[in-house]
Amino acid sequence: MYSKNSNRNLKIAAIVGTRPNFMKLSAICNAISPSDNIQLIIIHTGQHNTDTMSDIFFRELNLPYPDYKINVNNNNSTWQIATNVLNLRLVLYRCRPDYVMVFGDVNSTVSGAIVSAYENIPVIHIESGLRCFRDDMHEELNRVITDRLSSLLFVTEESGMENLRKENINMNKAFLVGNTMVDTLYKYLKRIKEIAENDKHYNDYAMFTLHRHDNIENTVNLKNILNAVKTVSNNIRIVFPIHPHTLDCIKSHNLYGVIDNCNISILEPLGYLEFLSLLCNAKFVLTDSGGVPTESYVLGIPCLTLRNETEQPVLIEHGCNKLVGNTYDGIINGYNDITNKQYTNIPLWDGNTSKRIISIIKEKCMN
């Protein structure tokens, strides 16, 4: 039988697994001071498990090395979640936290929420309430399930609060606090700009990232996107840090020739500082990521999102992002319509989100 930690410090197990999780975790770590009496135990599921997808972020962001690490290296979501649940139960029994903290919407997130709920450990969800209203998307299922199982929900934007209300979530446990990814970017912004100024690899280029299952595992979508990006590359160099799974899919669909021998620079996955320094000097970015549009907002870079929906409508409303879908014509039309304009500030995206989160945790969990 699981029993809670009885020490004076509040013991929180933070479960991470993918590169966006590490950035959010970094913000939380930086917001905790010794006087807060919070002990953070880091559990890494290994969902991203290579140096370029994992270890480099711990080094660059000065994160403590994980206290526990699970090797869940498999691209099948069901396999990942099932393996995580089995292993996390053993880890949580060993470290006996008072709370479990999960981030975002990846498979490691929902795995942590499920096993914690069954073990009667309250869950803190960082980045709650976001919805794209597509029940066939893994990330959406992960968000909804995690929010249902969580005891404290920290929300990035007002749409998230409205979504939770409509789902009849107890709003006494939901708090609008802002975006932890913005905190981390502000912390390293000076360094990022220094690298961008002193280490210019390319002139007049755009960034391109691609990783969502809808886009890379569907042959039609993948071919449309790659052909559109190749067309754009006739006018401007495209810098493409490629996700390992994306590269596997491109090769398995026999589409590598589309982007080979043209004005597309294919790179290995980049670390946090190197990627953002490149983004900082880009003319625009093409991406299907959830995190890159947030980063492009802070850096003032026009962003075209290769999806038909977004869980972050605030970026659309404030002029930071444009949905162009995953068809050839949609992407080309979006590219032809790019404009550089002044973005309006998003409430609470001010670099102090994590401080607000820690303050609320102390009030709600330590009294």
CA distance 11 to 96: 8
Show the low-confidence residues of the chain (pLDDT under 70). 1-8, 48-53, 73-75
State whether 151 and 194 are in the same domain.
no
State whether 174 and 243 are in the same domain.
no
- Whether residue 342 is contained in a domain is answered as no
- Whether residue 344 is contained in a domain is answered as no
pLDDT attached to residue 74: 65
State whether 243 and 318 are in the same domain.
yes
**What b/e sequence results for 198-232 when a residue is b if at least 16 CB atoms lie within 10 Å of its CB, and e otherwise?**
eeeeeeebbbbbbbbbbbbbbeebbbbbbbbbbeb
State whether 262 and 144 are in the same domain.
no
Instruction: Say what angle helices 219-232 and 244-252 make with each other, to 10 degrees.
Output: 100
- Whether residue 4 is contained in a domain is answered as no
- Whether residue 160 is contained in a domain is answered as yes
- Whether residue 323 is contained in a domain is answered as yes
pLDDT by residue (tens digit) across 129-157? Answer: 999 999 888 999 999 999 999 999 999 99
Which residues have a catalytic role annotated?
211
Q: Tell me if 97 sits within 8 A of 13, measured CB to CB.
A: yes
State whether 71 and 122 are in the same domain.
yes
The whole-model pTM stands at 0.93
The CATH number that applies at residue 323 is 3.40.50.2000
pLDDT attached to residue 77: 81
pLDDT attached to residue 97: 97
- Whether residue 155 is contained in a domain is answered as yes
pLDDT attached to residue 56: 85
- Whether residue 357 is contained in a domain is answered as yes
pLDDT attached to residue 2: 41
Query: Mean pLDDT in the chain?
Result: 92
pLDDT attached to residue 3: 43
State whether 40 and 174 are in the same domain.
yes
- Whether residue 341 is contained in a domain is answered as no
Structural domain harbouring 133: 10-178+349-365
Number of domains making up the chain: 2
